[in-house]
Amino acid sequence: MKFPTVALMLAQLLLATTDAFVSQHGATMSKAFLPTSGTALQVAAEVVTSEIKPRKTREERLEAASKGLQVHVVGLSIHHAEVEVREKLAVPECDWNQASNDICSRGAVAEAAVLSTCNRFEVYYAASDPHAAMADVTKYLADRSGLPVSTLRKNLFMLSGEDAVWHVMRVSGGLDSLIVGEGQILSQVRQCYLHSVEEDGCGGKVLSRLLNNALAAGKRVRSETAISKGSVSISSAAVELSEMLAMDDLQLPFSESRLAVVGAGKMTRLLITHLASRGLEKIIIVNRSLGRPKELQEQFPDVDIEIKLMDDLWDVVGRSDIVYTATSSEDYVIDEQRLEENGLAGGRPLMLVDISVPRNVGEDCKNIPNVKAYNVDDLKAVVARNTAMRQKEMIEAENLLREETQAYVAWREALSAIPTINQLQERANAFREEELKRCTRKLSNANLSDREMEAVERLSRGIVNKLLHGPMAHLRKTESIEGKQATLKELSAMFRLEEDENGRNRRRR
Length of the chain: 509
Smallest CA-to-CA distance from 96 within 16, 211, 260 is with 211
Tell me how far the alpha carbon of residue 267 is from its chain's centroid: 24
118 has catalytic annotation: yes
C-alpha to C-alpha distance for 76 and 87, rounded to whole angstroms? 11
Amino acid identity of residue 487, one-letter, is: T
**What secondary structure does DSSP assign to 358-378, as a single string?**
S-SB-GGGGGSTTEEEE-GGG
C-alpha to C-alpha distance for 219 and 213, rounded to whole angstroms? 10
| Cis amide leading into 358 (omega within 30) | yes
Element (H, E) at 274: helix 266-277
C-alpha to C-alpha distance for 462 and 436, rounded to whole angstroms? 13
Q: Which of 104, 118, 192, 365 is catalytic?
A: 118
Element (H, E) at 350: strand 350-354
- Strands 157-160 and 70-77 turn out to be antiparallel
Q: CB–CB of 372/350 below 8 Å? A: yes
Smallest CA-to-CA distance from 324 within 291, 361, 276, 280 is with 361
In 359-507, the DSSP E strands lie at 371-374
Helix-, strand-, coil-residue percentages of the chain, each rounded to 5: 60, 10, 25
Element (H, E) at 470: helix 450-477
Smallest CA-to-CA distance from 375 within 69, 14, 78 is with 78
- Measured in Å, how far apart are the chain's first and last C-alpha atoms? 50
C-alpha to C-alpha distance for 482 and 453, rounded to whole angstroms? 44
**What secondary structure does DSSP assign to 211-229, as a single string?**
HHHHHHHHHHHHHHSSTTT
| Cis amide leading into 369 (omega within 30) | no
C-alpha to C-alpha distance for 128 and 71, rounded to whole angstroms? 9
C-alpha to C-alpha distance for 268 and 265, rounded to whole angstroms? 5
Residues 6+ away with beta carbon under 8 Å from 20: 431, 435
Residues with a catalytic annotation lie at 118
